[in-house]
Amino acid sequence: NLVAVTGATGFLGAYIVRDLLEQNYRVLAFVRDPYNQEKLKTLKSFDPTGSKLTFTGGDLETIDYEKELKNVNYVIHTASPFKYSSPDPWGEIINPAINGTLGVLKAASKISTIKKVIVTSSGLAVYDIGTKKPEINDDDWSNVQDPINQPYPYSKVAAEKKAWEYIKENNENPSTNHFKLVVINPSYILGAALSPLVNASVATIVRHLTLAEKPRNVAIGVVDVRDVSRSHLIALENDDANDQRLLVSAKVVTFKSISDSIVQLFPQFKFNTNTLNNEDPEPFIFNLKSTKLDKLNFGQFIPFDETLKTMTKHLLDLKIINPEL
């Protein structure tokens, strides 16, 4: 089976490529610049003989998906602009997110070998940061409405909604309904990257640990990157996941408690957690329930302390953070 993975050089994408290769899938990795050998190094190390992994790519909005996805059996679409602000929120974040997702789905409807498309949406399409709803599950939708000030969550909601609209219509067309959609909604992803690149979610924690920014005392769902990768493979292999939206979240914590835990786990940090305090009021802690994953026998999530240990060790080893501050 040949699986296309978009955003393959990303924090999550690299794990998915590695895990697929380990399960003996052939992988077609979509990367922004297939000629940037430096950026492909990590991915190439997963397939030293070069027999199972091939590359293609380009910009999300200009790829000829119909040509590039030929003969593919599954698509895992993780690529999406991941930054929280931009001088051009529509051009840089929202439109590429929507057009990339629609580009993949439209091509899939024309390529009869494709059986399933798995789109990586976000927990931020399920709940808003600062929500006051006590119980949240896979059926909830966030209410983000400000594309200019919240372009990233807006882009994830917009792209996911377009995907569901598209597949609903496509399912009714017997000449193109040969493939299924699964959407994965991971909460805030942390862990040790497989390459030296620091993505936007880990970068926020790095800013807290380098005292460049105070961690907000707001509640968020968190999950280990290895579990998010695993959820994509489960979605690919399990027909019960078809047409589902899968919230993938291990625990609810606050940004402040993440820094507190890291400082406790790594006594070499010289600053104490009071340095990290800010004026935020007490957070509203909600419950996030991955009801659909339970039914797919996902099993246990990696304990969050373990996620923090592997991530922080990686950041210390690469000298991205300095505990002597």
Answer yes or no whether residue 253 interacts with ligand NDP by CB under 6 A: no
Beta carbon nearer to ligand NDP, 137 or 176: 137
| Part in contact with ligand NDP (CB under 6 A); list of ranges 130-138, 163-171, 186-194, 238-246 | 186-194
- Tell me which amino acid residue 145 is: Q
Of residues 141-160, those binding ligand NDP (CB under 6 A): 156
- Tell me which amino acid residue 254 is: T
Answer yes or no whether residue 12 interacts with ligand NDP by CB under 6 A: yes
Residues 138/290, Cβ–Cβ less than 8 Å: yes
Size of the site for ligand NDP (CB under 6 A): 25
Answer yes or no whether residue 32 interacts with ligand NDP by CB under 6 A: yes
What are the structure tokens assigned to 269, written together? 């940090």
Among 2, 3, 5, 13, binds ligand NDP (CB under 6 A): 13
Rounded-to-integer distance, Cα 317 and Cα 294, Å:
35
Residues 122/186, Cβ–Cβ less than 8 Å: yes
- Considering the complex, what minimum distance in angstroms separates the CB of residue 172 from ligand NDP? 27
- Tell me which amino acid residue 126 is: V
Beta carbon nearer to ligand NDP, 59 or 282: 59
The 85-124 contact track toward ligand NDP, x by CB under 6 A, reads -----------x-----------------------x-xx-
Farthest-apart Cα atoms in the chain, separation: 63
- Considering the complex, what minimum distance in angstroms separates the CB of residue 230 from ligand NDP? 14
Which residue has tokens 């501050």?
Answer: 325
- Considering the complex, what minimum distance in angstroms separates the CB of residue 36 from ligand NDP? 8
Among 142, 199, 254, 312, binds ligand NDP (CB under 6 A): 199
93 phi, psi to nearest 5 deg: -120, -55
Among 186, 215, 221, 283, binds ligand NDP (CB under 6 A): 186
Among 25, 75, 76, 81, binds ligand NDP (CB under 6 A): 81
For residue 124, CA distances in Å to 81, 131, 220, 251 come to: 14, 11, 10, 15
What are the structure tokens assigned to 190, written together? 């942390």
Answer yes or no whether residue 64 interacts with ligand NDP by CB under 6 A: no
Please choose, from the candidates 243, 252, 242, 238, the residue with its C-alpha nearest in 3D space to the C-alpha of residue 289. 252
Quickly list DSSP for 67-89: HHTTT-SEEEE------S--SSI
Query: Which residues of the chain form contacts with ligand NDP (CB under 6 A)?
Result: 7, 9-13, 32, 59-60, 78-82, 96, 120, 122-123, 156, 186, 188-189, 199-201
